[in-house]
Amino acid sequence: MALLFGALNVLSFAPFFIWPLQVISASLMMLILVSHPEWNKKQQALLGLSYGFGSFVFGVCWLVIAMSRYGGMPYALSVIALALLAAFMAIFPALCFVAVHSLQSKWKTSDPITLLVLFPVSWTVFEFLRGHLFTGFPWLSIGYAHNVSPLVGFAPVVGVYGVGGIAMLTSACIALLFLRRSARSLGAIGLLLIVISGIGLQQLSWTEANGKPISVRLTQGNIDQGIKFTSSFLDETLAMYADLMTAQAADLIATPETALPLLLTELPSTYLPRLQDFASQTNSRIVIGVVSDDGRQQYSNSVIGLGDKQGTAYRYDKHHLVPFGEYVPFGFRWFVNMMQIPLGEYNNPGVVQPAMAVKDQWVMPNICYEDLFGEEIAQQLRAQAVTPQGAATILLNVSNLAWFGDLTAIPQHLQISQMRSLETGRPMLRSTNTGATAIIDARGQVVSQLPSLTRGTLAGQVQGMRGLTPYIRFGNWLWMVFAAMAMLGAYIVSQRQAKKTRT
């Protein structure tokens, strides 16, 4: 049953958006947990492991495409690798169940109300650890399922992990409705307060318009990953992107991650000057995804900015690198050698980097996987806020998800970008190779989007926003403080009950 509930949980995310399934599946898991107080740690761990494995093996099955179709790994081995990754990710839900069991035993309480406070807090803590240990893999954090639910109002306050914790608290309140009559009123009141608070927070505007809107053109090349780096296709790629970029002027023109499949130093000598001339003549700023070569085999996954009339070049380097794709974890060189993926290791320049000026706005890029880490984007904005120009007013994600085919990775990544807009109160622009190229407003709504797996350009107007949401100001500290207070309250209640039992 836990395996099934975990698999069904995937339907709560994009492109399905059946978010109630997340709440219901978690409620059912809590009811199973409460109804078997006699289970030992091993049994509890197996329950959590089954739930997590069901969720991750179906939720990130698109990794098989990257490993087998484009990485050259035998299909059977790629399926085994997916299963091993899902099993590793499932350790964190398993640890959550073990932690709840251990705390109950230590506190000498079996009260279901105390347990249903412990579970949301423990889940949030271990989901946070999953997003940070070993560079983190926060994909399918349950808060992402709620960018269309009544809980969305909590996002600018406590971020995606906090939203996930509140979602689990919602599940606990629902579980209380089915446990015992004396707890039903508590569950109903808690559920009502959460929903009312979430809806009420949606009415607040944490940021305000900055300057005038800018015009944008976001390119989508739709180049199959299997031919992207072949020498016979290089000239066609360079010409295609040059045509897309110079077809029409705009305040900001962006290309996807590594749109140009050559090192920056290997580009034809006239390529960038021609683009610079176009940008200068039309007063456009062009952002190009390319791999920078800094000498001595030092490479960076970068975006460069052209068009500044003073001749000042802009460059942003990716800092949160993907294990196995952009750097090789210690002891896993043998695994990477089984895949034929070029440019496997990059430099890390650090989190905080400057934004790029575009008329009245400041645009802050992030590259592909980086927008999974909302706390790092908040850290950048917080650091920029004390500078003379202030925090960036528009976010820009450039990505290449062609590695993962046409499965759920593209809509899932779009949903992640929507959460970043909600957390920061800023619009997010997305320029991608195969999708989802989109314009997202400051409230996390997709304003316009190119169809996936097509070639074209998305044009539109974007209003930059200034101001700092609570999440930008405090990061994850707010939900951590709330979690600590909840744990303290649960402990005090459990000890009082234990004392009454003894007397």
Rounded Cα gap, residues 108 and 25, in angstroms: 27
CA 286, 291, 295 angle in degrees (round to 5)? 125
List, in order, residues 6 or more apart from 48 with CB less than 8 Å away.
Answer: 2, 90, 93, 94, 95, 96, 97, 98
Structure-block tokens of residue 254:
């962006």
**Of 483, 479, 340, nearest to 423 (Cα)?**
479
The single residue of 127, 228, 257, 376 carrying the catalytic annotation is 257
The single residue of 228, 368, 376, 423 carrying the catalytic annotation is 368
The single residue of 318, 326, 376, 423 carrying the catalytic annotation is 318
Peptide bond into 354 cis (omega under 30): no
Checking DSSP bridges between strand 214-220 and strand 252-254, what pairing results, if any?
Answer: parallel
**Of 156, 147, 153, nearest to 377 (Cα)?**
156
Rounded Cα gap, residues 465 and 41, in angstroms: 49
Checking DSSP bridges between strand 465-466 and strand 428-432, what pairing results, if any?
Answer: unpaired
Residue 318 catalytic? Answer: yes
Contacts by 134-141, CB closer than 8 A, 24 or more apart:
134/323, 134/329, 135/320, 135/321, 135/323, 136/372, 136/373, 137/89, 138/372, 138/373, 139/59, 139/60, 139/372, 139/412, 139/416, 140/10, 140/13, 140/55, 140/56, 140/59, 140/60, 140/412
Residue 257 catalytic? Answer: yes
Structure-block tokens of residue 406:
């046409």
**How many other C-beta atoms lie within 10 A of the C-beta of residue 235?**
10
CB 275 within 8 A of CB 286: yes
- Residue 219: C-alpha distances to residues 223, 235, 252, 256, 350 (Å): 12, 18, 11, 7, 27
Which residues are identified as catalytic? 257, 318, 368
